Structure 1
Amino acid sequence: MPPNIVRDADGLPRIILTEPTGSSAEVLLYGGQVVSWKNERREELLFMSSKASWKPPKAIRGGIPVCFPQFGNLGSLEQHGFARNRMWLLDSDPSPLPPANNQSSVDLVLKSTEEDLKIWSRSFELRLRVTLSAGKLTLIPRVRNTDHKAFSFMFALCNYLSVSDISEVRVEGLETLDYFDNWINRERFTEQADAITFDGEFERVYLSTPTKIAIIDHEKKRTFELWKDGMPDAVVWNPWDKKAKALPDLGDEDYQSMLCVDSAAIETPIILKPFEEWKGRQEISTVSSSYCSGQLDPRRVLYGFH
């Protein structure tokens, strides 16, 4: 069945994904960006800025933007590269992935244009499959080098997660890892805390991270489990109050109900020879958090015993 495409109030084509338990997701052709993921109770699981701009060529603050071929300002391109500012197409040739002939999956593709080649002179095809299943959202990005010479790139899926109160959230799975702190001249440190908690501006790139990270929302008694492959780094970001006020497309209080935990390849860019392909994968699922002596049982969080 062809995907269900509607046009939103701003005229942007959006694909509606649904699955039998009642959860849903919405994906824009603009940026190949997931902008909504609701569970079977119709609760929104992704954060969207109250001041998000929906007018191209601006990037949309929230959901799951795709950062390619650059992360942040670590290169000569615009912030986070150009993939999130382009119109993607439905992909009629998603091979070598098995066909997805249902309304809970969509395949998108972005191919280099003359405009792109002027600012980044590498010919590429970037594909993204978004699949919705009960309690889970899966994204499979793939980059193919269609150039006659090798190139390298950075990549990230920026996951804006909706949380009840950022000061009540903890992130587990990144303990003892090295990270770059973007607020201290990108110096390298080692995480000392048992779990990451938030009481101020926070932007770190954790290196060589495990395949699974848990984001525990105490107030909602809900845990996001982020599982990733092919993207060894993880970016954790919250702008806090001063930075939120300085960002024109973020509401002053929005920082309280959001946390970004990104799947990324930043420290070591991915290198592709001509006609080689890179594939990544991330799954975000939600499980109910249970308390044990006032603390979450880490085995339940990290290994999914529930």
Structure 2
Amino acid sequence: MITTLRTADGAQVQIAHNGAQVISWIPANQPEQLFLSKTSSSDAGAALRGGVPVIFPQFASLGLLPKHGFARTQLWHKRASDHPDRAVFELRDNEITRAIWPHAFWAELTVTLSGAELEIELAIHNTGNTEFSFTCALHTYLRVEHIEQVRVIGLQGTHYRDSVIGVENCVEMDEVLTIHGQVDRIYMNAPTRLDVQQARQRLAVFSNGFADAVVWNPGAELGRTLADLEPNGYERMLCVEAAAIAEPICLPIDATWRASQRLVVQPSARSI
């Protein structure tokens, strides 16, 4: 099942109830901004390759749970909303989640759409009788014209973990990050604004409450091994993710944690 939001100015977003995953975002008078692989599985319970998967309660394989946790493969419940430009989804612990992660929780994802902006907020509430910790991310697949022409601005001076070569304490030296080959980096204590610049637009990526940022592209070699990534799909996508990874969130009983990512298209940016 898919929920579609449309605003009077022509903006549109689509959210799959499986994973509460945003799979398409078309701002007013702009093209599609998110990448969704044509060969990604549409089966219930399968992870979709593209859009904005919700990563919870574990990022990647950094723990004992299945890769990226279970939120992206669970069916979320859509709640009623009084705002036509907003959709709210919730996920509560169940037999499947408790079998691999024995904690009681309530998760809420709120998607808000406006002309040139898309905001996604993730909230986690501890409904159990013990505290728990987790890592998470909004695994945003941005659609790009060609990966080697993309520029990511704003990371200079930030420490990062390079997961490709297995080095922990690197420092981003470049003012402008370009992507050549496989890139898999977790930037710690990242700036709250990054800019993804292409020839005809600039996309501002704002985070609030997420300490880290991830930049990922599989490159040609790894891309060929991903069955759910369309041929040469790596050329047309770049993940820029708001995340909480380096220091797991420790959530006391009856406490709530919230964080969000906001994407803003700025088509008037000068060409590169």
For the pair 1:111 / 2:95, whether they are aligned, the reply is no
Amino acid at match of 1:60: L
Per-residue CA deviations over 1:276-306 (Å, capped at 9, x if unaligned) read: 0001011101002433xx76xxxxxxxxxxx
**TM-score normalized by structure 1?**
0.87
For the pair 1:247 / 2:247, whether they are aligned, the reply is no
Contact 1:241 1:252 (C-alpha < 8 Å) held by counterparts: no
Contact 2:56 2:70 (C-alpha < 8 Å) held by counterparts: yes
Aligned counterparts of 1:185 and 1:69: Cα–Cα separation in 2: 23
Given candidates 11, 19, 23, the residue that maps to 2:7 is 19
User: Once the 2 structures are TM-superposed, how far is the Cα of residue 240 of structure 1 from its aligned partner?
Assistant: 1.0
Q: How does 1:10-49 map to 2 (within 5 A)?
A: 13-41=1-29, 43-49=31-37
Listed as ranges, the gaps of 5+ residues in structure 2 are: none
| Residue matched to 1:89 | 77
Given candidates 128, 135, 141, the residue that maps to 1:154 is 135
Contact 1:216 1:289 (C-alpha < 8 Å) held by counterparts: no
User: Once the 2 structures are TM-superposed, how far is the Cα of residue 214 of structure 1 from its aligned partner?
Assistant: 0.4
Aligned counterparts of 1:215 and 1:263: Cα–Cα separation in 2: 14
| Residue matched to 1:66 | 54
Aligned counterparts of 1:244 and 1:50: Cα–Cα separation in 2: 14
| Residue matched to 1:57 | 45
Contact 1:178 1:207 (C-alpha < 8 Å) held by counterparts: yes
The count of corresponding residues between Structure 1 and Structure 2 is 272
- Report the secondary structure of 2:178's partner residue: coil
For the pair 1:233 / 2:206, whether they are aligned, the reply is no
Aligned identity (percent) is 35
Aligned counterparts of 2:54 and 2:160: Cα–Cα separation in 1: 22
| Residue matched to 2:248 | 269
Aligned counterparts of 1:290 and 1:107: Cα–Cα separation in 2: 32
User: Once the 2 structures are TM-superposed, how far is the Cα of residue 195 of structure 1 from its aligned partner?
Assistant: 1.0
Amino acid at match of 2:39: K
Task: Report the structure number with the largest CA radius of gyration.
Answer: 1
| Residue matched to 1:192 | 173
User: Once the 2 structures are TM-superposed, how far is the Cα of residue 187 of structure 1 from its aligned partner?
Assistant: 2.3
Cα distance change, pair 290–90 in 1 and its aligned pair in 2 (3 A): closer
- Report the secondary structure of 2:148's partner residue: helix
Cα distance change, pair 70–187 in 1 and its aligned pair in 2 (3 A): same
Per-residue CA deviations over 1:265-284 (Å, capped at 9, x if unaligned) read: 00000011000000101110
Listed as ranges, the gaps of 5+ residues in structure 1 are: 1-12, 93-99, 296-306
Task: Compute the RMSD of aligned alpha carbons.
Answer: 1.2
Stretch of structure 1 that moved more, 79-88 or 281-290:
281-290
